[in-house]
């Protein structure tokens, strides 16, 4: 599954690999990879593959789930699709409180004690994802874990999720992506080496 999802994300250019023309992340890091899984929503075949795969992941890892929570913004449409497929309540978590009206941090019916699975599109360090978990817990939900489409697999993310006591299930990840990118000729051996070096120390990487 990890290889198949990576193939589809590469094909629709939701994942782009440019070691010689790196992207700049919001953190300031230079990166040879950019992942925008929101593009999958525009491709029915890929959208359905992701929905069905996430559904199976939830049924396998978190069978006692009672509600689905998306992380704003990219986790909202994926979460809504999942909640509809599983016939479960849906809510979403804002990155900051709404600036007017009820000033909600969480949109949707809050049921204290309800068992919820969080949906993300992408996990890097896990900071924003785990902030959503913290907000849900403060509101009284029992967070069973999180599912995501793709993870860079940074050790710091593993540490952060373990520290927060959150189980993470992802459809695909960096380790599965690189061999497929070479096999499908999206990158050559030189680019592969650069991508491997970046993965070891992304904050210090230079093209």
pLDDT of 20-57, one tens digit each?
A: 999 998 878 899 999 999 999 999 999 999 999 999 99
pLDDT of residue 98: 63
- What are the chain's domains? 1-200 (3.40.50.2020)
Give the tens place of pLDDT for each residue, 89-139.
999 999 887 655 556 899 999 999 999 999 999 999 999 999 999 999 999
What pLDDT score does 86 carry? 98
Structure tokens that stand for 79 in this block: 């979460």
Confidence of residue 78 (pLDDT cuts 50, 70, 90): very high
Confidence of residue 201 (pLDDT cuts 50, 70, 90): confident
Q: What is the pTM of this model?
A: 0.94
CA angle 130, 145, 162 (to 5 degrees): 60
CA distances from residue 67 to 117, 146, 147 in whole angstroms, order as listed = 7, 12, 13
Task: Note the pLDDT of residue 100.
Answer: 57
Show binding-site residues for orotate: 124
Q: Which residues participate in the annotated binding site for 5-phospho-alpha-D-ribose 1-diphosphate?
A: 94, 98, 100, 120-128
Which stretches of the chain are DSSP H helices?
A: 2-11, 44-61, 75-86, 127-138, 155-164, 174-183, 189-200
The answer, yes or no, to whether residue 191 has pLDDT greater than 90, is yes
How many whole angstroms separate alpha carbon 195 and alpha carbon 171?
Answer: 20
Give the tens place of pLDDT for each residue, 125-176. Answer: 999 999 999 999 999 999 999 999 999 999 899 999 999 999 999 999 999 9
The pLDDT of residue 95 is 86
183-206 mean pLDDT? 90
Query: Which residues define the annotated binding site?
Result: 94, 98, 100, 120-128
Predicted local distance difference test score (pLDDT) of residue 101: 53
Can you tell me the distance from the alpha carbon of 158 to that of 175, in angstroms, rounded to the nearest whole number?
Answer: 14
pLDDT at 181 over 60: yes
State the virtual CA torsion across 71, 94, 43, 16 in degrees, nearest 10. -80
């Amino acid at each position: 599954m990890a290889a198949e999802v990576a193939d589809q994300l590469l094909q629709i250019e939701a994942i782009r690999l440019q070691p010689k023309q790196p992207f700049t992340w919001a953190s300031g890091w230079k990166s040879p990879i950019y992942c925008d899984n929101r593009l999958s929503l525009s491709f029915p075949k890929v959208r359905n593959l992701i929905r069905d795969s996430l559904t199976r992941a939830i049924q396998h890892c978190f069978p006692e789930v009672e509600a689905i929570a998306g992380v704003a913004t990219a986790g909202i449409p994926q979460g809504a699709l999942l909640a509809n497929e599983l016939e479960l309540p849906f809510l979403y978590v804002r990155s900051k409180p709404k600036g007017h009206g009820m000033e909600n941090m969480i949109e949707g019916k809050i049921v204290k004690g309800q068992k919820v699975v969080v949906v993300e599109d992408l996990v890097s360090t896990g900071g924003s994802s785990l902030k959503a978990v913290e907000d849900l817990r403060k509101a009284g939900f029992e967070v069973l874990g999180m599912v995501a489409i793709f993870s860079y697999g940074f050790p710091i993310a593993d540490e952060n999720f373990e520290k927060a006591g959150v189980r993470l299930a992802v459809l695909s990840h960096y380790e599965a992506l690189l061999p497929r990118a070479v096999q499908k000729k999206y990158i050559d051996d030189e680019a592969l080496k650069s991508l491997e070096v970046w993965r070891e120390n992304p904050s210090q990487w230079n093209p």
